[in-house]
Structures are given as C-alpha cells and as structure tokens.
Amino acid sequence: MFNYSDHCPKIAATDIGQQLDVTQQAIHKMTRKYGIVLPKITNRSFFTHDLSKKILKIPFVKQKIAFQIVKGGTGKTTAIHNIACCASAYGARILAIDIDPQGNLTDSFGYNPSESPVLIDIITKNASLQDSIVTVEPGIDLLPSRIENVVLDNTLALEAKPLNRLFSKILSSVESQYDFIFIDCPPTMGHSVTAATLYTGMVLTPLNPDRYSAKGLEILKDSIRQMNKEFDTHVDYRVFLNKFSGNTILSDKAIQTTISEETASGKALSVAVRNSQDIPNAIDKGLNLFSGLKKSTAREDFEALTRELLGIKLLSQRETKSRQQSSLELT
C-alpha cells in the first residue's frame, strides 16, 4: 500500500522523464511493467518513496552528514528537512537526528516530541534507540529533540563519554537500514556537536550572503582542524550558498572571498539556493517543498542540491538491467 498523503514527498513523472531523457509514454510503460498506475494530482503523474524504491531502484551511496554552522538563521534546518524529503521521494531511506534543544527539525516534520524519548534519554539509559525513533514521512525516520537535550554537553563532559565513539555505539544496530543519516546540530561547538561531527566525518554548511556566515565558517574550519589533529581523523566539509538573490550582487567582500576560495578548493557545491517566499509558505502550512508538484525556484534548487550533494543519478532501464544481471552473476 503506497502513501500519497498531502505531506508525502513527491517527484513529478515529467521530472523523472527529463532526467532519464525518455518520454512520458516510456515512463508509463516502465510502471506498467510492475503493474502500477502512477497516482496523479490535477492530471500530473508522480512518484513517491515506495514507488521510486520499487521502480527506479537508484543505487544510493550511503552517507552520513552533520548539518552545522556557528550562526543561527542560515536556513540549516530548512535545508536538512527538504534535502531529506527530496531524497526520500527518490526512494532513499533516511534517518534524521535532531540534537538541537530547540527542536526545529522535529517541528519541521510536524512531530510533537513531548512524550517521546530523545538523545539525552538514550545517553542516560532511560530509553532505548528503538523506542525513540519515529517515522515522520515515507522513507524518513526521526530521532526527535526537545528542550531536555540542553544538558547534553554537560552530561557528556561530566561522564567523560568518548566523543569519537558515542554515535557509533548508539546507532550501530540501525545504521544498515538507512541510505543516509543526517544530524541537525545546534549553532554551537560543544561536546554533542563534536561527537556528531566525528561520527559523520562530513559537515554541510549553508552560507548566507553576509559577513557573519563567512566568520561562522572560519570558526567551523578551525574547529575541524583541531578535531582532526586531536582525534587523528579526517573530517571534511562542504558549503553551499543559501538565501541568495540572483538580482543582488554579494555586497560584502568577506563572503565574496569565502565563496571564491571554497569554490577553488572544491569545497563549495555548485548549486545556490535562491531566496523564495515558497519556503516560509511551506513552513507555515506544515509542509515541505516536495509535498506537492508546484514548480518553484526553491523546489528546483533543493532538488538540484540534493542530487549533487548525495550523488543521486537515475539509471536507464538498460543500466538497471545490467546491474541486476551482474548481481545475479556474483551470487
């Protein structure tokens, strides 16, 4: 039974066809092969998580990413929310972990965590991971957060928890179930953020076109350098420009220099997310940019950002058949 609720992330069949460079007739022929008629909204066919997983069979490369920057208001939580929703519409299984005591990511998914265990409950052994994870969208599970997580850093410091093994120990029993694990971090550099960064090994940072984002990135980079030295590891990072207006030249030299330097070093993603009223509109309605099929610059940008960040590439029917044959030969 497939879930086609209003909240359910969706990808238009026309978009899938464009990426595969095939006609709509070819898309419908593909789905009929599985005995499936694509659902429609105002006569527009679409794919959902379950349909994409069954029909498209995208070979995801598993990744863990911590979303963080030492600055509030950059759109970090909106980014992780919509990237997760877009990836799920392509058939990916995602675990989103909210460790920010404000619980903004939890709110974004429309989940009330008042009665749910959160990370601090798991660390203090007052709850199990299995009791704490909830399903919030098809293909997306959430470890929610609430204000009680404000004592995370103090607890980790007082109990001298090994930060480089904290999340690995907690998540070892479920890691294999997910294609992507995303952690939404608070705008601090405390013990919990360090533990999340060491676990993922990759940080994604949204930069706004202002000098404060540039300064926040420098603080983050210094922290990563110290972390790599202290723990003998190789944490990396990527950045993308967020809340960008194509009609406005970047007015601050600091962010201009930062973007140029990060692009030259290969750390900047090529997609910039433009400012759009569609983002706050979706938030106000308790939806995500992929809840419907309406075209917008925000949806277009986040879909392109998701594909670039996660390396999502649709395979042609011939490539899919070849992979399946190779798998059979190996077994």
Residue 328 burial class via C-beta count within 10 angstroms: exposed 0-12, middle 13-18, buried 19 and up? exposed
For the chain, how long is the longest CA-to-CA vector?
62
User: Residue 41, SS3?
Assistant: strand
- In angstroms, the CA 59 to CA 91 distance is 10
4 pLDDT band, cuts 50/70/90, is low
227 pLDDT more than 70 = yes
Find out whether 41 and 117 touch, Cβ atoms under 8 Å. Answer: no
Mean pLDDT of 224-245: 92
Using the predicted structure, report yes or no on whether residue 182 has a pLDDT greater than 90. yes
Of 209 and 93, more confident:
93
What does the pLDDT read at residue 328? 36
Q: What is the pLDDT of residue 198?
A: 97
pLDDT band at 331 (very low <50, low <70, confident <90, very high): very low
In contact, 240 and 271? CB cutoff 8 Å:
yes
Q: Domains in the chain and their CATH numbers? A: 11-55 (no CATH), 63-310 (3.40.50.300)
| pLDDT tens-digit map of 153-168 | 999 999 888 999 999 9
Can you state the angle between helices 211-231 and 253-264, rounded to 10 degrees?
40
Q: Which own/partner pairs from 245-249 qualify as long-range (CB within 8 Å, at least 24 positions apart)?
A: 245/209, 245/274, 245/275, 246/274, 248/209
- Better-scored residue on pLDDT, 245 or 143: 143
Q: What is the pLDDT of residue 325?
A: 46
| 306 against 34, higher pLDDT | 306
Confidence of residue 72 (pLDDT cuts 50, 70, 90): confident
pLDDT at 312: 92
Q: Is the pLDDT of residue 106 over 50?
A: yes
> What is the structure's pLDDT at 323?
40
pLDDT at 5: 63
pLDDT tens by residue, 255-284: 778 888 888 999 999 998 988 899 989 888
Overall average pLDDT of the 174-193 stretch: 94
Span 105-120, average pLDDT: 93
Percent of the chain with pLDDT over 70: 90
Indicate whether this model's pTM tops 0.75: yes
273 near 305, Cβ under 8 Å?
yes
What angle do helix axes 191-200 and 211-231 make, rounded to 10 degrees?
70
Q: How confident is the model at residue 254 (pLDDT cuts 50, 70, 90)?
A: low
- pLDDT (average), residues 215-235: 93
- Position with higher pLDDT, 245 vs 94: 94
Nearby residues of 50 by Cβ (< 8 Å), 6 or more positions away:
2, 3, 91, 138, 139
User: Is residue 119 scored above 60 in pLDDT?
Assistant: yes
Provide the b/e sequence for 4-31 (b: ≥16 CB within 10 Å): eeebbbbbbbebbbebbebeeeebbebb
Return the pLDDT at 250.
55
Please give the mean pLDDT across all residues of the chain. Answer: 88
Confidence of residue 84 (pLDDT cuts 50, 70, 90): very high
- pLDDT for res 314: 81
- If you average pLDDT over residues 276-294, what whole number do you get? 90
Q: At what angle do helices 24-32 and 13-20 cross, to 10 degrees?
A: 100
Under 8 Å between Cβ of 220 and 237: yes
Q: pLDDT at residue 322 above 50?
A: no
